[in-house]
Structure 1
């Protein structure tokens, strides 16, 4: 797990540099230390510490985007996703709820605030990336996903 933390730190430093100085149309950043920590050490204190570190790294990535000189004129969409859950002892691959539960968090100009009107599934992430980039999805690709459902309107205060 320590090697993964070092790699994640290097990836974060490079991504912060690219996001702050280049003009990427899209970017993908993979941080693997949390997953590897759970595999090797389970979902205890080390796992929670790795999650806190990954959260700090995500904060640095978001700060790099917000700190861009052209940020006010740009429209960013950020999608953060896990690929699977873990059993408390570590590991995955079975069919338990803990292993099959993963999450998606997103924000952006094209993502309405609030809870979605329907389920968001992992295959939907690729479709949403294309939608956020205003790129058509070729039906020949046979993607299983679809862009994220819109949010429910938040009721007005009475």
Structure 2
């Protein structure tokens, strides 16, 4: 399976370096396993250092540039997971999934799904047209 792509610009600063150095899959795996864990980062961590053993010397050296000689807390994986989920939602929508199906599948509100779709396809008129044709926007009016 191909490595998923992530827009590093939307990730928190502290997570970007993990994804840039380790790749999405490996970063996600390690962040989920070690999120919020505390490490002391020396100025020049070697391969024998605890952080290097877990995350690799390349990442340890990058982290040391900003956090050397102090305690460091591993960031959480939430933003990476959210971005991957959002990408799945957009791909499913483009493949023809109905907004209501996506609401049930991902456990998000209809508004949140619609906002994600609008961000992915900025032509709001096309979205509104799609919702009118395949959505349930007409039901709100019928209730009253």
TM-score per shorter chain, which class?
under 0.3
More helix by share: 2
Length-normalised TM-score, structure 1: 0.25
Higher Cα Rg, which structure: 2
Length-normalised TM-score, structure 2: 0.27
